[in-house]
Amino acid sequence: MKILAIGDPHGSKKVKKIPVKGVDLILITGDVGKADLARKRLFENIKRKKQGLKELKEDKKFIKAVYKEIYNSSLNIWKYCSKLAPTYSILGNVGSNMIKDSNVKKDEKKYGIKLPSFCSGINKINNFYLARNVVRNINGLKIGFLEYFNDVCWYKEYNDNNKKEINKAKKQTENAKQILDNFKKVDILVCHQPPYGILDKTNYLSAPKEWKGKHAGSKTILNYIKKYQPKYVFCGHIHEAKGKAKIGKTQVYNLGLAGYKIINLEFPKHL
C-alpha cells in the first residue's frame, strides 16, 4: 500500500503540488487550516504583555474572520485530498475548538454572530475521516491517530507558570497517556507534536526570544514510542524542525509545513 503523509497544511497551496500518482491512502498531521490572523494576534499580545500594555481584545469582527479563515482553508484541503484517495486527518492546535458545537455556540452567543463549525462541513465530504484518538485498521495496517493535547512538560520547558492552564494540561496529559496505552502496538502513529527532544526545537522567527532553542515536543509521545516502537511516526507542529530521526526501530518524520513523505507498506500479520 502506497501511503502519503502530509505535514500541517495550514491552507498552503503546496499541498496541490505533492505527487499523488498511485497513492492508496493519505494521512494528515493536523493544523489543516490557515491561521495567520490568530497567530499574529497571539504574538502581538505576548509582546504587549511583556511591555506592560493591555492585550488587544477580540471583537466580533476579529472572531468571525478567524473562524472563516480556518474553516474555509481546512475544508478546501480535506476536499482536495479526499478526491485523490481515502484521507484521514487528526486535529492540531489550529481549529480544535471549532470541532465542538458547544464551543461554537458559546462564541456565537458571546459575540452575537453566526459561526461555522467543522461538524456540518465534514459530514458533506466523501472519502474523508476525521480520526480522533483512535486506532484504525486500514487494509491490514494498524494506524493510531492522536490529536493535539497540551503536554504538561511544555509549561516547565517554557517557564510558563499559569496555574489554571497547567492544571488543564495535567488532565490532557493523563488522558493522552491513557489513549496511547490503549493503542498499544501500531504500525504508524499520526500525532501533531513531535516527541520531546526529537525534531522539536522552537526557532520560529516571530516567536518570543525566550522560546528560541527550547523543546516543544511531548514527553508522553516520546515514552510511548520508546515502549511500543511503531514503524513510523508522522508529526508536525514545529515547522522549523522539519526532518527525520530514529528512536530505536521507529522512524520519526516531522513533516513541517505542508511537507510530505511517501512510504510503501505491505500488509502485516498481527498476532
Q: Are 143 and 27 in contact (CB under 8 A)?
A: yes
Q: Give yes or no for a contact between 217 and 152, defined as CB atoms under 8 angstroms apart.
A: no
Do 235 and 196 form a contact (C-beta atoms < 8 A)?
no
Q: Is 39 exposed, middle or buried (0-12, 13-18, 19+ CB in 10 A)?
A: middle
Cβ(96)–Cβ(148) below 8 Å: yes
The pLDDT value given to residue 271:
39
* Dihedral angle computed from the Cα positions of residues 165, 168, 174 and 175, in that order, rounded to the nearest 10 degrees: -130
In degrees rounded to 5, what are phi and psi of residue 96? -65, -30
pLDDT digits (tens, 9 = 90+) for 102-145: 889 999 999 999 998 888 889 999 999 999 999 999 999 999 99
Closest CA to 199 of 124, 254, 262, 123: 254
Residue type, 50: K
Model confidence at 100, pLDDT cuts 50, 70, 90, reads confident
Looking at residue 216, its pLDDT comes to: 94
Q: Give the CATH fold of the 2-264 domain.
A: Purple Acid Phosphatase; chain A, domain 2 (3.60.21)
Most distant CA atoms of the chain, gap in Å: 60
For the chain, what are the domain ranges?
2-264
DSSP assignment letter at 202: -
Q: Over the stretch 64-98, which tens digit does the pLDDT of each residue have? A: 999 999 999 999 999 999 999 999 999 999 988 88
Cell of 221: 509521545
- E-only strand ranges, the chain: 2-6, 25-28, 87-89, 128-130, 134-138, 141-146, 188-191, 232-235, 243-247, 250-254, 260-264
> Given the C-alpha cell 508536525, which residue does it identify?
236
φ/ψ region of 141 (left if φ > 0, alpha if ψ in -120 to 50, else beta) reads beta
Write the DSSP assignment of 14-47 as a string of letters: GGGGS--TT--EEEE-S--S--HHHHHHHHHHHH
Q: Quick one: the chain helix, strand, coil %, rounded to 5?
A: 40, 20, 40
Q: pLDDT, tens digit, for every residue of 213-253?
A: 999 999 999 999 999 999 999 999 999 999 999 999 999 99
Among residues 123, 135, 131, 162, the alpha carbon closest in space to that of 147 is found at 131
Question: Phi, psi at residue 185, to the nearest 5°?
Answer: -80, 125
pLDDT in tens, 188-220: 999 999 999 999 999 887 777 888 899 999 999
